[in-house]
Amino acid sequence: MTEPTSSDLPPAPEVAREVFGERLADASRYAELLAEVGVKRGLIGPREVPRLWERHLLNCAVLSEVVPEGVTVCDVGSGAGLPGIPLALVRPDLRITLLEPLLRRTTFLQEAVELLGLDHVSVVRGRAEEVLGSLPPVHVVTARAVAPLDRLAGWGVPLLRPYGEMLALKGDTAEEELKAARAALQKLGVVESSVLRVGKGLVEQPATVVRAEVGESPGGVRFAAKRAKAARTGRSRGVRRRR
Ligand X SMILES: C[S@@+](CC[C@H](N)C(=O)[O-])C[C@H]1O[C@@H](n2cnc3c(N)ncnc32)[C@H](O)[C@@H]1O
Positions touching ligand X (CB under 6 A) are 76-80, 82, 99-102, 105, 127-129, 144-146, 155
- Rounded to a whole number of angstroms, the minimum distance from the CB of residue 41 to ligand X is 12
CB nearer to ligand X: give 58 or 76.
Answer: 76
CB count in 10 Å sphere of residue 223: 20
- Rounded to a whole number of angstroms, the minimum distance from the CB of residue 75 to ligand X is 7
**Residue 219 in marked binding region:** no
- Rounded to a whole number of angstroms, the minimum distance from the CB of residue 2 to ligand X is 24
- Rounded to a whole number of angstroms, the minimum distance from the CB of residue 128 to ligand X is 4
CB nearer to ligand X: give 79 or 164.
Answer: 79
CB nearer to ligand X: give 17 or 237.
Answer: 237
Judge contact between 69 and 95, C-beta under 8 A: no
- Rounded to a whole number of angstroms, the minimum distance from the CB of residue 76 to ligand X is 5
In the sheet that holds 138-144, the strands lie side by side as 190-198, 207-214, 160-169, 138-144, 72-76, 95-100, 121-125, 240-241
Judge contact between 103 and 125, C-beta under 8 A: yes
**What distances in angstroms separate CA 106 from CA 5, 49, 99, 132, one per listed residue?**
23, 21, 8, 19
> HEC states along 16-67?
HHHHHHHHHHHHHHHHHHHHHHHHHCCCCCHHHHHHHHHHHHHHHHHHHHHC
**Residue 129 in marked binding region:** yes
CB nearer to ligand X: give 145 or 225.
Answer: 145
CB nearer to ligand X: give 76 or 160.
Answer: 76
**Residue 82 in marked binding region:** yes
| Annotated binding-site positions | 77, 82, 128-129, 144
The annotation places the binding site for S-adenosyl-L-methionine at 77, 82, 128-129, 144
